[in-house]
Chains A and B, each alone.
Chain A
Amino acid sequence: MMLQLSGVHAHYGHIHALRGIDLSVQVGEVVTLIGANGAGKSTLLMSLFGQPRVSAGRITFDGEDITRLPTHIIARRDISLVPEGRRIFPRMTVMENLLMGAVLADPRNLDVDLKRMYALFPILEERLEQRAGTLSGGEQQMLAIARALMARPKLLLLDEPSLGLAPLYIKKIFQTIRELNEDHGMTILLIEQNAHHALRAAHRGYVMQHGQITMTGTGRDLLASAEVRAAYLEGGHAAA
């Protein structure tokens, strides 16, 4: 088991944001968590890193209890997060952004890892000396993913990677997710509002509502379920 959350509660002041979450990610899986705005998806992801601290429950990663570890220590545990809204370093160059991703990694791997990223995202190699803030939204998202991968994580957390991107880039991002998983064996937890793409890319999915997991199943089952279709897909991608 790569990641296991059992009975996790979290609060923002008086707001009870997570109400007893049970979720697990197996090695080599792509798991997606879908839900509407404010359902608590991002809170769940952030609580993995102790921001906010969970008020009850247990989080284990790779067999180790990480519930109470400090944030930057958790981030050193082979987990990489691609934060919501990309959060690249806009005034630094693409190369410098990639180097920041490898800040805790073994420097001997640097050149190999950079080559891997160029192979995965050829556009980044062309733009190495460009300021990251001048990249398009889709390119920035690729940079954010590449930066996270530079740390050689076992588990990659993606927070709404398709947010605000053009359809072509959304496709490319989900292709990358599949490629990472199938060719490189990367375990991925994907948080998305774009339920159609996310469920198609994922082995398993969880549906979140008001701080609780309301449904779970394989990606295909959820995609076919009437409830999910009604809540997240109808109107948008009904023809899928």
Chain B
Amino acid sequence: MPPLVFANDAPTAAERLKDASGVALIALLLGIPMIGLTTADQGGSLQVLTRWPLLAAFIAASFCGRLVVRYLLDALKRRRQAQDRQAGAAGAKETRRGGRMLESIGWLAFGLALVLPIVFSDNRYVVDTATTVLIYVMLGWGLNVVVGLAGLLDLGHVAFYAVGAYAYALLSTQFGWGFWAALPVAGIIAGVFGLALGWPSLRLRGDYLAIVTLGFGEIIRVVLINWTDFSGGPNGISSIPRPTFFGLPFVPSSDNPTFATYFGLEFSPMHRIIFLYYVILVLSLLTNVLVKRLRKLPIGRAWEAVREDEIACKALGMNVTNAKLSAFALGAMLGGVAGVFFAARQGFISPESFTFNESAIILAIVVLGGMGSQLGVVLASVVLVLLPELGRDFAEYRMLLFGAAMILIMVWRPGGILSHREPTLLLSSEGGRRE
């Protein structure tokens, strides 16, 4: 096929100059009051001074900058068009090659995650930040089942995170439960909450469901704030027991053997930090394996089919409500487990940790990562947690940086960082089926 020629494919030099001149003119108009004129304190009185050379430099920079930006944008567009033309023919082979590459990236990321605390064993900040990233990865993977696979827009995922956290906090402080015993129980409690909230609301679709879930997220938070006898109200719950290493606590000294004395090590607060890191790593890897396996089972395909076309699912005799409820409950359960870990790590929780902001960030991780993509969630979590961290030096500009990064991802990767969808079932080259 001969390449298509578009009228606006390559602007002429004159067009480019005209475009840049327009930008320079705007720069001039804005620049006169902002750069061209300045005030200075001279001998006690305020004088207006002019800075025409600086203004000229500013305008020249705008002019040249516009030329470069326009050129780069055009080049990008042409490349995109060329790719689109080729994309049609590529088909299934491309899918498979893409899948293999992603798989190797996934293993690489796993390897890095494994050695990270060893490399940075004396750097508390890095391991702490990595733990935070992993919490978001786990939350993202949980929400990915609901939003990415089943296509249910859930704006209140933080509610289940809170349920898990408070379940552990109360079970441990009131009833003396340990971390490992409370973990599955709190997960199940969050899952039950998911069922209870999902049952009445899942008949709604799209925006309406989003509003209801948003409401549930707020209800849980408001209840936690106001029911002081139960949850401690705004004061939250403190001195939540930290997880132990098979019964060995991470404390400087104790009558019973501690982690440090048992292994004959010198006590270091880093032991606990690194241990917590590996706990959340294992939890999130279990989540990943669980979700990946489920996706290849009929129930996983049913979730995706519900996302694709609910009416077609009904026509095929599927019980759509059950499919949605199971996805919602599983997502809630995973969120609850992440909440348990959060409570155990912090040692203190209050309703302030579970605001709508958290829901928004988790949802942003899923959407920016590429809905339904497991690896995309990891990448997006890294970006969304690290960006504000890196932005600390910019103080009040960091949210601006955050917003700009989001917009850039939307422009360049509208389907998310990884919009590739791995088929649940591939054919082997011999023609037989391979699960």
A binding-site residues for B, Cβ under 8 Å: 49, 51, 71-73, 75-76, 80-81, 83, 87-93, 95-96, 99-101, 103-104, 111, 127-131, 134, 147-148, 151
Check: B292 CB closer than 8 A to any chain A CB: no
Q: Let me know if A103 and B316 touch, CB within 8 A.
A: yes
Please provide the chain B residues from 307 to 358 with a CB less than 8 Å away from any CB of chain A in the complex: 308-309, 311-320
Q: Let me know if B301 and A92 touch, CB within 8 A.
A: yes
Q: Let me know if A49 and B423 touch, CB within 8 A.
A: no
Contact (A128, B427) CB under 8 Å given A83-B311, A99-B301: yes
Check: B79 CB closer than 8 A to any chain A CB: no
Q: Let me know if B301 and A129 touch, CB within 8 A.
A: no
B binding-site residues for A, Cβ under 8 Å: 88, 91-92, 95-96, 298, 301-302, 304-305, 308-309, 311-320, 421, 423-427, 433
Q: Let me know if A91 and B316 touch, CB within 8 A.
A: no
Contact (A72, B312) CB under 8 Å given A96-B424, A129-B426: no
Q: Let me know if A92 and B304 touch, CB within 8 A.
A: yes
CB distance from B76 to the nearest CB of A (A): 24
Q: Let me know if A89 and B304 touch, CB within 8 A.
A: yes
Select which of A87, A88, A95, A148 is within 8 A of B423 by beta carbon.
A95
Smallest CB-CB A-B distances: 8 pairs? A75-B317, A89-B308, A129-B92, A87-B312, A81-B315, A76-B317, A93-B423, A104-B317
B320 cross-chain contacts in A, Cβ below 8 A: 72
CA distance A80 to B314 in the complex (A): 11
B301 cross-chain contacts in A, Cβ below 8 A: 92, 96, 99-100, 103
Closest chain A residue, CB of each to CB of B299: A103
B426 cross-chain contacts in A, Cβ below 8 A: 129
Contact (A92, B305) CB under 8 Å given A49-B314, A71-B314, A83-B311: yes
B433 cross-chain contacts in A, Cβ below 8 A: 111
Select which of A83, A89, A95, A104 is within 8 A of B425 by beta carbon.
A95
Q: Is the interface of B mostly helix, strand, loop or mixed?
A: helix
Select which of B316, B319, B427 is within 8 A of A129 by beta carbon.
B427
CA distance A96 to B421 in the complex (A): 13
Closest chain B residue, CB of each to CB of A157: B315
Contact (A99, B316) CB under 8 Å given A87-B311, A92-B308, A130-B92: no
Q: Let me know if B298 and A130 touch, CB within 8 A.
A: no
Contact (A72, B311) CB under 8 Å given A89-B305, A100-B305, A129-B92: no
CA distance A49 to B312 in the complex (A): 12
Interface centre among A73, A87, A104 (most CB of B within 10 A): A87
A92 cross-chain contacts in B, Cβ below 8 A: 301, 304-305, 308, 423
Please list 19 pairs of residues, one from A and one from B, whose beta carbons are closer than 8 Å in the complex, sorted by A's number.
Answer: A72-B314, A75-B314, A87-B309, A88-B312, A91-B421, A96-B424, A100-B318, A101-B316, A103-B298, A104-B317, A111-B433, A127-B92, A128-B427, A129-B95, A130-B91, A131-B95, A131-B421, A148-B316, A151-B317
CA distance A71 to B315 in the complex (A): 8
Given contacts A83-B315, A89-B304, A95-B423, 15 further A-B contacts (CB under 8 A): A71-B314, A72-B318, A75-B316, A76-B317, A80-B315, A88-B309, A88-B312, A93-B425, A100-B318, A101-B316, A103-B298, A103-B302, A127-B92, A131-B421, A151-B316
A100 cross-chain contacts in B, Cβ below 8 A: 301-302, 305, 313, 316, 318
B302 cross-chain contacts in A, Cβ below 8 A: 100, 103
CB distance from A85 to the nearest CB of B (A): 10
A134 cross-chain contacts in B, Cβ below 8 A: 88, 91
Closest chain A residue, CB of each to CB of B91: A130
Q: Let me know if B312 and A89 touch, CB within 8 A.
A: yes
Closest chain A residue, CB of each to CB of B320: A72
CA distance A76 to B314 in the complex (A): 10
Closest chain B residue, CB of each to CB of A129: B92
Closest chain B residue, CB of each to CB of A75: B317
CA distance A19 to B244 in the complex (A): 72
Contact (A75, B309) CB under 8 Å given A100-B301, A129-B96, A130-B91: no
Select which of A72, A83, A95, A128 is within 8 A of B317 by beta carbon.
A72
B304 cross-chain contacts in A, Cβ below 8 A: 89, 91-92, 96
CA distance A198 to B33 in the complex (A): 75
CA distance A83 to B315 in the complex (A): 8
B312 cross-chain contacts in A, Cβ below 8 A: 83, 87-89
B314 cross-chain contacts in A, Cβ below 8 A: 49, 51, 71-72, 75
Interface centre among A88, A100, A130 (most CB of B within 10 A): A100
A81 cross-chain contacts in B, Cβ below 8 A: 315
CA distance A124 to B313 in the complex (A): 20
A103 cross-chain contacts in B, Cβ below 8 A: 298, 301-302, 316-318
A71 cross-chain contacts in B, Cβ below 8 A: 314
Closest chain B residue, CB of each to CB of A107: B298
B92 cross-chain contacts in A, Cβ below 8 A: 127-130
Contact (A95, B91) CB under 8 Å given A100-B305, A104-B316, A147-B316: no
Q: Let me know if B318 and A129 touch, CB within 8 A.
A: no
A72 cross-chain contacts in B, Cβ below 8 A: 314, 317-320
A128 cross-chain contacts in B, Cβ below 8 A: 92, 427
Contact (A89, B309) CB under 8 Å given A72-B314, A100-B301, A103-B302: yes
CB distance from A42 to the nearest CB of B (A): 12
